[in-house]
Amino acid sequence: MPKNLIVFDFDWSFVDQDTDRWVFEVLSTKLRRALQDRKSNGSQCTPDVVDQTMADLFDAGFKKEQVLDALRILPFHPAMRRAVTALKDRGETDFLCLSNSNEVYIGTILEHHNLTNLFAEVITNPAHWAGDRLHIGRRLPADGPQHTCKVGCLANMCKGDELDAWLAAHGGKDAYEKIVYVGDGGNDFCPLLRMRKGDVACVRKNMELHGRIKEEGEKEGIKVDVKLWDQAWVIDE
């Protein structure tokens, strides 16, 4: 039976928030501002910046369970859950998560919503607890081999390379009749360039990925069919 593959970014794609920012917004306005200031001082919201602010959260006395509770109340639309569980139950679709969040954040949210077995794999940044301190690392360590992406992926991960590697390990692109990518961010642009004519990009309207496709898509030779969405019920539809 022919199968399809749906690749999800996580923040503002699978869920209706940014996991990195959400934890600080729930627990500490002061540290949410610190994260924003660090990002504004030349840093994108990389794992290094999030880890630095997580150290501040620990120093301020916040506990592991408070972080986990914040993740459990992060907005996740019922229509998105309905969409993915219906497709999963039909058995014709594989799911892959490709995210710049981290293992603890994503794992906690999926477990809370009983979706631990949804994704064949979650490709993201590593994270682990040391007592009440959450340590967040990089998918590509700073002291190891680096990717050579030229279209603007973050230093810690090239999503295009990650998608190519996953497909190569699972029968190649031809193993799937159609590949669908659901994303919103600028670093979701690269994997779209690796996809075929007839594949589909479900792009969240008026977010960074939408802008990049309008400004750079034709020049970079994007082949996928682009479908815009703004709310999860549109994805379900």
**19-27 and 103-112 helices, crossing angle to 10°:** 80
* 22 alpha-carbon distance from chain centroid: 14
Please write the tens of the pLDDT for every residue from 55-104: 999 999 999 999 999 999 999 999 999 999 999 999 999 999 999 999 99
Is 18 labeled as catalytic in the residue annotation? no
94 is in an annotated binding site: no
What is the C-alpha to C-alpha distance for residues 186 and 89, in angstroms, rounded to an integer? 31
Domain covering 3-16+76-125+140-236 assigned CATH 3.10.20.90 in the classification:
no
Note the pLDDT of residue 142. 86
What is the C-alpha to C-alpha distance for residues 201 and 216, in angstroms, rounded to an integer? 15
Is 16 labeled as catalytic in the residue annotation? no
What is the C-alpha to C-alpha distance for residues 47 and 110, in angstroms, rounded to an integer? 20
Catalytic member of 11, 20, 51, 94: 11
pTM given for the model: 0.96
What is the C-alpha to C-alpha distance for residues 223 and 126, in angstroms, rounded to an integer? 32
Number of Cβ within 10 Å of residue 27's Cβ equals 18
**Which residues of the chain form CATH 3.40.50.1000?**
3-16+76-125+140-236
Note the pLDDT of residue 162. 97
11 is in an annotated binding site: yes
User: What are the φ and ψ backbone dihedral angles of 210, each rounded to 5 degrees?
Assistant: -55, -45
Within 8 A by CB and 6+ apart from 49, the residues are: 35, 38, 39, 43
188 is in an annotated binding site: no
Who has greater pLDDT, 41 or 34? Answer: 34
- Mean pLDDT, range 212-220, rounded to an integer: 95
Q: How would you class 66 by CB atoms within 10 Å of its CB: exposed for 0-12, middle for 13-18, buried for 19 or more?
A: middle
